[in-house]
Each structure stands twice: as C-alpha cells, then as structure tokens.
Structure 1
Amino acid sequence: MPHTEVAPQEADKVRVYALSLSDAEARAMRDDETAQAAALGVDRIDAAYTEVFRVADLDQLGLAGYLRDGNGVNPDQIETDRSKLAALDGWVMIVYSRAFAGQSLQLAPIPALTHIGTYTEGGPDTPVQAMEAEAAQPYTGIPRVAPSEPAKGGGGKTMVIVAVAVLILLIIWWLLA
C-alpha cells in the first residue's frame, strides 16, 4: 500500500477512503478514534475532523454532491473522479486536514482502506472590491500631540465662597437662637 504524505500545517484537504469492512466493523470504527488512527497507520488523530458513514445515507445527494455542497470541494476536482465516487456503495471515511493537528505525517492505510482521492476545499468565490467611498478611506485628521490641560485656579475661589457662606449661616443661627 503506498504511503501518503501529510504536509506540516496542511489545511483545506479532504481525503476520501472506501472501507472494505463489514457493517459492524465500520460502525465500530465510526465511533472509535483509536481504530480510525490505526486504520490510517498513525498514532493519533482528532476524530472531530473525520467522518465514517454509509454512502447510501446520502440519498440523492450522493458522495460527489456531499463533497461539492457539504465541503466546498472544487467541482472540477470532483468531475475528475466522478465515476469512482458514483461507484462507491458501501462505507466511506472522510478525513479532513485538521484531523492531523498540523503535524507532518506519513499515512500508511490498512488494506481495508482504499484511497479514492484527495480534494481541496475551496473558499467562496467572492471578488475583492476596492472601497472608494470617503468613509472607507483611512483617517487623515491631525492627531493630538498632548492632552489638553485642565483649568487652573478655580478650586481655591470656590472653597473661599463656601467657607464665607457657612460662616454667615452660623452667625445668623447664633443671632436667632
């Protein structure tokens, strides 16, 4: 069985394997991270980024549609392997790049795994548009060099006025008492 290289920090790759296992073995592998790693010939993978399922569960969508619509694989890549993907009728295992946690690995799948293809997840085709509105331009104002200084001298006058008012109130209270 040929080995497959996983590049360090690999991203956006989707590997599809056909499983030549019984229903019971495939179901057991679906929920067992250790069994999935062993099947790929590695010590450990993150099973949150793998899928094991029966192709028939996809109904009319099919595996090619699932890869295209569910995973954003480029339709041109799928077209190349369309006949292989359409011929699959048992269980498959899909392994995403994140399952390898950015490590450089050498995959050595067991004979029960047949590599169907490795596809690239594509991002949305959104063209970059230049923003020409004035509000989209960088700020061109002059920044303040130093903070403004607070007003000086107003606090002392206020204290004198308050003290005189209190003294007048005390004198009036003493005279009336």
Structure 2
Amino acid sequence: MHVSASERGLVRLFAVDLPSEEVEAFRESVFDGDGELIDWPLANALGAFDLDEDYIELFNVRDLEGLGLPGYMVQGLGISERDVQEDGNRLSAQRGWVLVVLSSAFGRTEQTLSPRRPLRWLGTYKEEGARVRYDPLPSAGAKGAPLDVPPKPVTSNPYKTVLLAILALPAAALVLGLLFLWGSAK
C-alpha cells in the first residue's frame, strides 16, 4: 500500500486478529531511557516507519453498541454511506478488534505499507467532503440590488502621523533648549 506525502482524506481499515488479552501489548510503544522508540508492534505490523498515534484508533467492534462498524464509518469517520454500503455485509459481520488509520497518521511522509499478521486489510475509504448548501438569506434586507453608498472619505495615513511626530520631537526639544539658554543668558 503506497502512502503519498500529499495524501489526504483516506481511511484504512484493518481487522486485528488477536485475542483481547494481547491487544494492549500490541498497541503499546516501547521507549528506552532517552525517550527513543525501541519497539511498537502495531507500527511494525502495519509496516509503517512514521506513524502518529493521535490519528489511529484501535477498538473492539462490540463497543459500537447499536451503531455497528458501518454506522461508525459513516457517522464517526465521515465516509460516504454509498461507499460503506458496498462493503456493508462484510463490515457488519466483522467481529473483534479493528484498527482505523487516517491519512494524517503518516505525517505527510511518503511510505509503502506492508501489513502483516495480526493485521488483515478490510478496505480503504475516502472521507466525504462537507456538502455545501446555498440557502436563501432570511432577511428581506438581503434581497435586491445593493444601495448606492458614497465612497468612504480618505483618512490620514497613521504612519505619516507617527513619522511627523518623531521628526517634530527633536525640533521641539531644540526650540525649548534655545529658549532656556536665551532665558538664562539674560
């Protein structure tokens, strides 16, 4: 499975063929004393060398009470209902643990995945973009042609005002200094 650096909006779905008591060890990454990643069974099984755990989900399908895997994919992941219906029977029959990997999990790093046991690929789906609706505006003031509004008068440039103030300060200080010297000379 190729992941391009510009990939967006894809959702990869895998069955995780492990007993529940082994899933936690599969999920956990192991670090050394310096915080360097030593081992991550999940990333190893996926064949990914750059994987952000914030964009993956690992859960038991039975936790989707009433919603089911197809419903979660549509409502929770934003996948087109039509796309999910094509695989609906197979997805509804899925039991046990599943892994959801979003495109963002690869951190815009091009890589080739080589999934192996205990992962079993179920499908790759595209997130559905938000549909744009153009409803009429509710206000009567929003109807008709725009009014002829006179152009806004040109105001002074605040940068010029600051520049003039900066130049005027030394001149004012010079005039005050001369007045002080003239007054003390008398």
The TM-score with structure 2 as length reference comes to 0.67
Matches within 5 A, 1:1-177: 4-32=1-29, 34-128=40-134, 133=142, 142=151, 147=156
Give the whole-Å Cα distance in 2 for the aligned partners of 1:42 and 1:71: 22
Deviation at 1:96, TM superposition (A): 0.5
Please report how far the alpha carbon of residue 29 of structure 1 lies from its aligned counterpart in structure 2 after TM superposition: 2.5
Q: Give me the whole-angstrom Cα distance separating, in 1, the residues matched to 2:106 and 2:136.
A: 37
SS in 1 for 2:48: coil
- Percent pairwise identity: 33
* AA in 2 matched with 1:118: T
State the alpha-carbon separation in 2 of the partners of residues 27 and 141 from structure 1.
Answer: 69
Q: Secondary structure at the match of 1:63?
A: helix
Matched-pair contact (CA < 8 Å) for 1:42–1:106: yes
Q: 1:125 to 1:38 in 2, by over 3 A?
A: same
Give the superposed CA RMSD: 2.8
- What are structure 2's unaligned runs of at least 5 residues? 31-39, 162-186
Whether the 8 Å contact between 2:12 and 2:100 is mirrored in structure 1 is: yes
* Cα offset, 1:50, TM superposition: 0.3
TM-score (norm: length of structure 1):
0.70
Distance 1:146 1:57, change over 3 A: closer
Whole-angstrom distance in 1 between the partners of 2:133 and 2:56: 31
Equivalent pairs counted in the alignment come to 144
By how many angstroms is 1:17 displaced? 0.1
The offset of 1:144, in angstroms, is 5.3
Counterpart contact for 1:74–1:121, Cα < 8 Å: yes
- Read off the aligned partner of 2:23 and give its amino acid letter: A
What is the DSSP-based 3-state SS (H/G/I as helix, E as strand, rest coil) of the residue aligned with 2:98?
strand
Read off the aligned partner of 1:85 and give its amino acid letter. Answer: L
CA contact (8 A) 1:37 1:43 kept: yes
Q: 2:42 and 2:117 mapped to 1: Cα distance?
A: 13
> Is the Cα contact below 8 Å between 1:29 and 1:52 reproduced in 2?
no
Q: Any conservation in 1 of the 2:49–2:111 contact (CA below 8 Å)? A: no
